[in-house]
């Protein structure tokens, strides 16, 4: 069943339990005609109007909206399709859309397509596969448009059942800006099920204050991709092929990605299994201020994989935890150009707000990584890798420490801190561990995934004490600058 017109509004209930329920907005300057076909059915024809018929006042659509759902839509497949234009709000959902498949192995699917117009969701969307609600897997939800906003009241869920069923899939993909302020849920609550997949894509992607994305599952965490896949679509190294496994289909990259301080992403194993995969990526600017969790299960399982990276400018002030209570800790990867280890936030800010289009504006080239978040990860048993790129005459991919950039591991199991620079590594503050071993790997003049040309005069310059409490120290410099050890190196217990 489809409702088709220039503008379609639903304030009641639409039920198509065994089929498809849809709302199709043809847009301004069109006529929608229904005519009989051979006495056996009806066809819908949308004609483009010309001249006065296209511009008359009777053709104006209030607020430019084509589709408005304030009621309930219940079907096996639910679709809202608008022709949309770049100046208009094409779809607004403030009601409830439920899609529940009725055929075995079929997805219950919700699709909102705003065309070149904007899509705003202040309501609820649910998608479930066939079967009893308590045991069915999550379905599929897809939202596209010029700009897509999931407001603070928004609930988008393709979760599995409470007794069985893996999490489903949610994909929000805008041509310009994607903003998430509400809840996105592809969890799998039962002990034997795994979390689903979430993709939040666009030219600019923002998870603002209060946003909650959850792909956790009893038997393993799922996958959450914000702004791109591993290193912007690179093939993972052999040692990361399982942790950072790429999607079968290419994932488009954002120019800018921002995650606010109170935003949260989870891809955890909640019972027994490995943590999942979380990626925050941008080609130009990533501002990471929130919390990421890819922990292994309480009863068993290893930590997962977290990446907060940018091909250019990374501001990493948030926290990434991929620990494991009864397994091996996972990995947090940070991959900018130049990077400074510091306790301060610098060179990046965002204004927030659903109506502000200028929310992603870096204020400098060099990236900063907050050592407080590095310490938190190491203390949880999560290993941390920081690798830089080489941007020619602008930035050489150096890693340095600010005066407030000391690193101290004071809790947790063994962990590894890897600093891999296309350029030089200069450490002026202490790096210590007082709780189990800390392996420290320093690799200067080291080719990254993006840059095979390294800085010829790269060097490793240690100007402070390094105490690893039984961990290993590895120094590797491929450049001509040499290794300068000016502090005390203590590998055993201090």
Q: How confident is the model over 219-268, as pLDDT tens digits? A: 999 999 999 999 899 888 787 888 888 888 999 999 999 999 999 999 99
DSSP 3-state of 407? strand
Which pTM value belongs to this model?
A: 0.85
What pLDDT shows up at residue 492?
A: 55
Rounded Cα gap, residues 49 and 306, in angstroms: 52
Between residues 311 and 149, the one the model is more confident about: 149
343: tokens are 């306790």
pLDDT per position as a tens digit, 308-357: 998 888 888 899 999 999 999 999 998 776 788 888 655 443 344 443 33
Tell me the pLDDT band of 462, cut-offs 50, 70 and 90. Answer: confident
Mean pLDDT of the chain: 82
User: Minimum mean pLDDT among 210-219, 263-272, 285-294, 472-481: which range?
Assistant: 472-481
Report DSSP state, residue 274: B
Strand residues in 295-364 grouped as ranges (E): 305-309, 313-316, 319-321, 331-335, 339-342, 348-349, 361-362
Q: Which of 108, 112, 262, 248 is nearest to 178 (CA)?
A: 112
221: tokens are 């965490």
**pLDDT value at 27 more than 80:** no
């Amino acid at each position: 069943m489809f409702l088709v017109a220039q503008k379609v509004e639903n304030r009641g209930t639409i039920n198509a339990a065994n089929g498809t329920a849809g709302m199709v907005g043809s847009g301004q300057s069109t006529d929608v005609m229904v005519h009989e076909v051979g006495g056996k059915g009806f066809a819908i024809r949308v004609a483009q109007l010309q001249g006065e018929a296209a511009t008359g006042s009777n053709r104006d659509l209030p607020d430019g909206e084509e589709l408005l759902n304030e009621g309930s839509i219940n079907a096996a497949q639910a679709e809202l399709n608008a022709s949309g234009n770049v100046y208009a709000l094409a779809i607004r959902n403030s009601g409830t859309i439920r899609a529940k498949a009725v055929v075995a192995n079929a997805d219950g699917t919700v699709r909102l397509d705003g065309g070149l117009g904007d899509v705003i969701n202040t309501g609820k969307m649910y998608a479930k596969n066939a079967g009893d609600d308590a045991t069915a897997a999550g379905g599929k939800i897809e939202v596209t448009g010029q700009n897509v906003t999931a407001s603070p009241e928004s609930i988008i869920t393709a979760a599995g059942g409470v007794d069985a069923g893996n999490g489903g899939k949610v994909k929000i993909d805008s041509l310009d800006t994607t903003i998430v302020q509400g809840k996105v849920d592809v969890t799998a609550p039962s002990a034997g099920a795994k979390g689903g997949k979430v993709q939040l894509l666009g030219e600019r992607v923002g998870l603002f204050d209060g946003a909650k994305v959850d792909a956790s599952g009893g038997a393993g965490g799922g996958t959450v991709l914000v702004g791109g896949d591993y290193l912007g679509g690179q093939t993972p190294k052999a040692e990361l092929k399982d942790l950072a496994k790429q999607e079968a289909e290419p994932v488009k990259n954002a120019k800018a990605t921002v995650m606010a301080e109170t935003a949260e992403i989870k891809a955890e194993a909640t019972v027994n299994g490995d943590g999942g995969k979380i990626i925050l990526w941008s080609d130009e600017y990533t501002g990471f201020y929130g919390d990421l969790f890819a922990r292994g299960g309480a009863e068993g399982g290893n930590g997962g994989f977290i990446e907060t990276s940018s091909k250019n400018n990374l501001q990493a002030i948030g926290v990434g935890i991929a620990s494991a209570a009864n397994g091996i800790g996972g990995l947090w990867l940070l991959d900018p150009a130049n990077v400074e280890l510091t306790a301060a936030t610098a060179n990046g800010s965002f204004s927030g707000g659903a109506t502000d289009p200028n929310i992603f504006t870096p204020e400098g080239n060099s990236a900063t990584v907050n050592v407080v978040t590095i310490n938190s990860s190491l203390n949880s048993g999560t290993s941390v890798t920081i690798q830089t790129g080489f941007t020619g005459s602008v930035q050489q991919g150096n890693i340095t420490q600010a005066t407030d950039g000391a690193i101290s591991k004071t809790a947790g199991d063994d962990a590894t801190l890897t600093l891999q620079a296309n350029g030089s590594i200069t450490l002026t503050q202490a790096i210590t561990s007082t709780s189990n071993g800390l392996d420290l790997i320093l690799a200067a003049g080291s080719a990254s995934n993006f840059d095979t040309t390294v800085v010829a005069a790269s060097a490793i310059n240690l100007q402070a004490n390094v105490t690893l409490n039984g961990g290993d120290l590895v120094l590797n410099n491929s450049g001509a600058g040499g290794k300068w050890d000016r502090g005390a190196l203590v590998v055993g217990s201090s």
